[in-house]
Structure 1
Amino acid sequence: MSTASRLPKSIQQLADKLPTEVNSTIRRLAMLSLIGQVVLVVTGGAVRLTSSGLGCPTWPRCTSGSLVNTPEMGIHGFIEFGNRMLTFALAAVAVLMLVYLWNLRKERRDLFLLAVGLLASIPAQAIIGGITVLSNLNPWVVGLHFLVSMALVVFSTLLVNRAYGRTGRFMKRPLEAIPGAMSPVMTAVAFFSAVAVCLGVIVTGAGPHAGDANAPRNDLDWDLVSHIHAVPAYLITAGAVFAVYFVLRKGITGLFRTAALLLLAVTVLQAVIGFTQYYNGIPALLVGAHMLGAALLMGAATNAADVARFSPKL
């Protein structure tokens, strides 16, 4: 018996109306998911940097007597509750993506599995967010919360590339050939980007921006871990410069050229923000910009590694 014949008639009628090829709606949902995940990093940063981490002092409710924030809670409650609501919006986008991919679940298994991974990670992210509140913003739990956001940015970046036919088995057009060494270098850049983000979480856990005045810190030497955090950043920069050098030297055009230039631009911007905040007392606004930069770097590094992987080699 086929899957279609086992479905109730009403559901089958709905399935018959769903797309049988990747269309503009699926592509827009993929892009919306990526943008939303980056925005979630920014709003999560706003929660921490405005000391709104306990703006809603419990979870899953905002208070013991209310699901939502109340006027008496002020701006901190509004910021924290708004960040929680964005998670629901992103979950809705992920559900819609799965629905629109239903008829493509076998033919475009790559897209479908990425969408499943994205949807499965969002509730996990929400639960970890709840634990951060219940643990009074334990820095290690807060750090894990941020790292899941970075993983969601990676998933979303790959989803966009596949949905737009930029990479994968269903590319719309062939990619231009690149030097054989480029793919492992870009993979290493993506790896060290993840390492830098993990170390950045530890740096933040040792710093002053805890999300609440009474939140605990990890008691590590902030200056020491900041210098350790810079090591993978130097390696990322070297990899990005290497990629752009060969792109320009060999006249490589197309997607990899764009990916390499974007990677270098984001890397340099992130480095400038990092050094500026280090030498200026870690102002909250620059810390927020650095968090946004981390999300952009993970996206750019993932994109560069993905494009390099599927590019033919010289």
Structure 2
Amino acid sequence: MTTDAPTHPTEPVNGFWRLVPEPSLDVVRRWGWTSVVVNIGIVVTGGLVRLTGSGLGCPTWPSCTDSSYVPHSELGFHAAIEFGNRMLGFVVAVVAICTWLVVMRYRPRRTDLRRLATAAALGVPLQAVIGGVSVLTGLNPWIVSAHFLVSPIIITLTVAMMRRSRTSPYPHTPPVVRALATACVVAVWVAVALGTVVTGAGPHSGDPETGRNGFDPEIISQLHSDSVFALLGVSIALVIATRVTATSRTLRKLAAWLLAMELIQGAVGFTQYFTGLPWVLVLIHMFFAGLLIALVTAVYGERGTPAT
């Protein structure tokens, strides 16, 4: 019987690590969930910065202005929105550090969890630097896209860490289901990446003076929608495959949730496109993108081991 007991006398803890309470895997997973929530939150607040034209509300970085790290009242609400997003970045950093600490303190040592937690934690300062570069370059659309994509990467690493923290063995899964789960991951990331290109070509630039990436908005939007249709096709195939083969109940549920989220996201995407991109719908679309990344990572993490 597999247990979650943290006590391992053969692995002594010395120095600083004695100050960190020894966690259970449940604690590791709770911090992981917290990390996912705050990273989806910063996707939303970052979208709010761009959609309200507040991208240069704080015109420099790392300070807000040349003379102050905090915004002055004369800068108005744009500065408040931009500065608020920066402050949430500190919350994301604190959560990433705490998650890393509990994973490093967990016994027995889990190299796989440590690598994922470390990579996720390193993503936070990377995102801050890219965000700073985006401000210093006047919101270059390609750098802004890169800045956004760091959050889905951190979400992916954190969800993968939580899935791998399970104590029960993975079920055997037919090759077709494993292949379709992998294809869903690829299709989601292609759709999300193309979505950032659509954003870089569209009207919500983050500041009225910011240039766009030069792509025709209609053409790149059509390419993005094509990728979404491809994703839907692969996901429908996955849902069917999980029901006609011997796969785990958890994977069947996750595949169904993934398809449902894609349908909702697609409905929001088409609605926003045909209604002139109202910023509220665009913000909802970004929120669902974060959820979609988390779900597809969970599906991939549940794909199990090859059936014999």
Opposite residue 190 of structure 1, the aligned amino acid is: V
Aligned mates of 1:254, 1:59 — CA distance in 2: 48
Aligned mates of 2:97, 2:145 — CA distance in 1: 26
- 1:81 aligned onto 2:63: no
Aligned to 1:238: 233
Aligned to 2:29: 27
Aligned mates of 2:228, 2:111 — CA distance in 1: 35
- 1:221 aligned onto 2:216: yes
Are 1:104 and 1:112, in contact at CA under 8 Å, matched by a contact in 2?
no
Aligned to 2:19: 14
Are 2:164 and 2:301, in contact at CA under 8 Å, matched by a contact in 1?
no
Residues 44-193 of structure 1 aligned to structure 2 (within 5 Å): 44-104=46-106, 107-163=109-165, 165=166, 171-172=167-168, 174-175=170-171, 177-193=172-188
Unpaired runs of 5+ residues, structure 2, are 1-9
Unpaired runs of 5+ residues, structure 1, are 166-170
Aligned-CA RMSD value: 2.2
Which residue of the other structure, out of 271, 276, 281, is the alignment partner of 1:286? Answer: 281
Residues 245-260 of structure 1 aligned to structure 2 (within 5 Å): 245-249=240-244, 254-260=249-255
Aligned to 1:168: none
Q: CA deviation at 1:298?
A: 1.4
Change (3 A) 1:12 1:295: closer
Opposite residue 53 of structure 2, the aligned amino acid is: S
Q: CA deviation at 1:26?
A: 2.0
Opposite residue 182 of structure 1, the aligned amino acid is: V
Q: CA deviation at 1:118?
A: 0.8
Q: Deviations over 1:178-220 (max 9, x none)?
A: 4320111111110111111111111111100000111111121
- 1:313 aligned onto 2:307: yes
Q: CA deviation at 1:25?
A: 2.6
Are 2:185 and 2:297, in contact at CA under 8 Å, matched by a contact in 1?
yes
* Corresponding residue SS for 1:181: helix
Aligned mates of 1:111, 1:159 — CA distance in 2: 6
- 1:197 aligned onto 2:192: yes
* Corresponding residue SS for 1:45: helix
Are 1:18 and 1:100, in contact at CA under 8 Å, matched by a contact in 2?
yes
* Corresponding residue SS for 1:199: helix
Aligned mates of 2:11, 2:163 — CA distance in 1: 29
Q: CA deviation at 1:255?
A: 1.2
Are 1:158 and 1:303, in contact at CA under 8 Å, matched by a contact in 2?
yes
Identity rate, percent: 37
Are 1:206 and 1:219, in contact at CA under 8 Å, matched by a contact in 2?
yes
Aligned mates of 2:22, 2:72 — CA distance in 1: 41
Q: Deviations over 1:99-133 (max 9, x none)?
A: 22233377211111111001111000000000111
Change (3 A) 1:252 1:13: closer
Aligned to 1:208: 203
Aligned mates of 1:124, 1:294 — CA distance in 2: 21
Aligned mates of 2:282, 2:134 — CA distance in 1: 20
Aligned to 1:303: 298
Are 1:55 and 1:79, in contact at CA under 8 Å, matched by a contact in 2?
yes
Q: CA deviation at 1:87?
A: 1.2
Q: CA deviation at 1:52?
A: 0.7
Aligned mates of 2:68, 2:113 — CA distance in 1: 38
Bigger mean CA offset, 239-248 vs 40-49 = 239-248
Q: CA deviation at 1:286?
A: 1.3
Aligned to 2:40: 38
Are 2:176 and 2:241, in contact at CA under 8 Å, matched by a contact in 1?
no
Opposite residue 86 of structure 2, the aligned amino acid is: R
Are 2:261 and 2:292, in contact at CA under 8 Å, matched by a contact in 1?
yes
Are 1:206 and 1:221, in contact at CA under 8 Å, matched by a contact in 2?
yes
Q: CA deviation at 1:174?
A: 4.5
* Corresponding residue SS for 1:60: coil
Q: CA deviation at 1:12?
A: 5.5
Q: CA deviation at 1:173?
A: 5.1
Aligned mates of 2:230, 2:17 — CA distance in 1: 52
Bigger mean CA offset, 140-149 vs 177-186 = 177-186
